[in-house]
């Protein structure tokens, strides 16, 4: 039985850790989530991770292709490309070593080096930046063989519009390329009814995003976040099997916090021993057995 430790870092620099004990190793999402967040209270609080915006790239905020922000210019190259071009570079060797281990994925909201500098970079494999960009963090992460990806979301009303999807994908790949990133994490969490143009459109969005990213940046990572259960939690009836096939990584959001739903089987409220085991098993069993999702993607 494998134990996971998820750590929450607040701006007050308090660290909370707990252990998840899933009973299915092969279906495990090894998720060490490091969040730079401000603690808050109130029933209407919405996590910053659920508010993902797609915004135009401002010229004065983008990293120019001709001006690498890192002291070592090799660190500006996406790790998958550096692996092929500079296979003996120290940071590339570190990346290769980590590539053979279990994925440790971290979401980070806006903070500075006084916070992210305390992360255990020896264990991390991928960092997802939630609506902010920090060139210093990119250099630091790449130096430790850690991928850096951006978060992306897409409006539900346009999922069935192929032109809108293509335009969005072009914006994302341009942003990722100009900022020396390694890929994208699609953090789509809206409710979708089954057998609808929107449901099929979401699947197409993931497929098309992966195709463009893998062509433009060979070896880049396209990941997708899913609920702690595939059984329509929060009305999210997605084509999980196809999405898993098209993605490089599937991240099960089995966090130790209240889900969007208040009722239903195995509701993901504050975790204790019973509910922790419950929603971990629901995630892995449903994804693997009922949805036939490939275990290596989790």
* CATH architecture, domain defined by 4-35+54-297: Alpha-Beta Barrel (3.20)
- Pick the closest to residue 75 from 174, 179, 180 (CA basis): 180
- For the chain, give every domain's residue range: 4-35+54-297
Regarding predicted confidence, which is higher, 86 or 26?
86
Give the ranges where the chain is alpha helix by DSSP (H).
79-85, 90-99, 113-116, 135-143, 162-178, 197-216, 240-246, 273-285
The mean pLDDT value of the chain amounts to 75
The overall pTM is greater than 0.75: no
Active-site residue set: 189
User: Is 75 in contact with 143 (CB distance < 8 Å)?
Assistant: yes
28-32, 34-38, 70-74, 249-253: least confident range:
28-32
> Which comes out higher in pLDDT, residue 297 or 122?
122
Confidence of residue 155 (pLDDT cuts 50, 70, 90): very high
> Quick one: CA torsion of 8, 10, 14, 20, rounded to 10 degrees?
-10
Quick: pLDDT tens for 241-298.
999 999 999 998 877 655 665 555 555 454 444 444 444 444 545 555 555 666 565 5
> Helix or strand or coil: residue 22?
coil
5-14, 115-124, 254-263: which has the highest mean pLDDT?
115-124
Q: What is the tens place of the pLDDT at every residue in 201-239? A: 999 999 999 999 999 999 999 999 998 777 788 889 999
| Closest by Cα among 295, 256, 277 to 31 | 256
CB distance 11 to 31 below 8 Å:
no
Where does the pLDDT of residue 191 fall: very low under 50, low under 70, confident under 90, or very high at 90 and above? very high
Report pLDDT digits (tens) over 34-48. Answer: 445 333 333 333 333
Examine the pLDDT at 121 and tell me if it is beyond 50: yes
What's the pLDDT at 252? 87
Q: Do the Cβ atoms of 283 and 232 come closer than 8 Å?
A: no
Residue 294's pLDDT is what? Answer: 62
Quick one: pLDDT at residue 280? 45
Tens digit of each residue's pLDDT (9 = 90 or more) over 57-68: 333 334 454 678
What are the beta bridge partners of residue 19? 5
């Amino acid at each position: 039985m494998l134990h996971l430790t998820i750590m929450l870092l607040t701006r007050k620099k308090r660290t909370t850790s707990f252990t998840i004990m899933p009973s299915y190793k092969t279906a495990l999402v090894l998720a060490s989530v490091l969040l730079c967040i401000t603690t808050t209270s109130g029933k209407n609080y919405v996590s910053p991770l659920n508010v993902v915006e797609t915004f135009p790239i401002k010229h004065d905020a983008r990293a120019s292709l001709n001006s690498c922000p890192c002291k070592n210019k090799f660190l500006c190259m996406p790790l998958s490309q550096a692996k092929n071009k500079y296979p003996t570079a120290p940071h590339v060797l570190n990346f290769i070593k980590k590539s053979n281990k279990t994925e440790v994925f971290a979401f980070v909201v806006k903070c500075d080096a006084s916070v992210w500098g305390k992360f255990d970079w020896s264990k991390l494999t991928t960092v997802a930046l939630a609506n902010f960009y920090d060139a210093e963090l990119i250099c630091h992460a790449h130096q430790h063989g850690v991928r850096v990806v951006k978060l992306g979301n897409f409006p539900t009303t346009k999922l069935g519009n192929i032109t809108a999807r293509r335009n969005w994908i072009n914006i994302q790949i341009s942003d990722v390329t100009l900022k020396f990133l390694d890929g994208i994490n699609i953090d789509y969490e809206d409710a979708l009814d089954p057998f609808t143009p929107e449901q099929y459109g979401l699947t197409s969005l993931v497929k098309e995003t992966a195709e463009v990213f893998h062509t433009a940046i060979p070896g880049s990572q396209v990941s997708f976040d899913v609920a702690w259960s595939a059984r329509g939690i929060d009305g999210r009836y997605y084509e999980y099997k196809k999405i898993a096939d098209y993605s490089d990584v599937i991240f099960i959001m089995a966090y130790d916090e209240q889900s969007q739903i208040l009722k239903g089987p195995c509701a993901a409220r504050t975790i204790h021993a019973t509910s922790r085991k419950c929603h971990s098993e629901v995630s892995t069993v449903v994804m693997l057995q009922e949805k036939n999702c490939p275990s290596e993607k989790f």
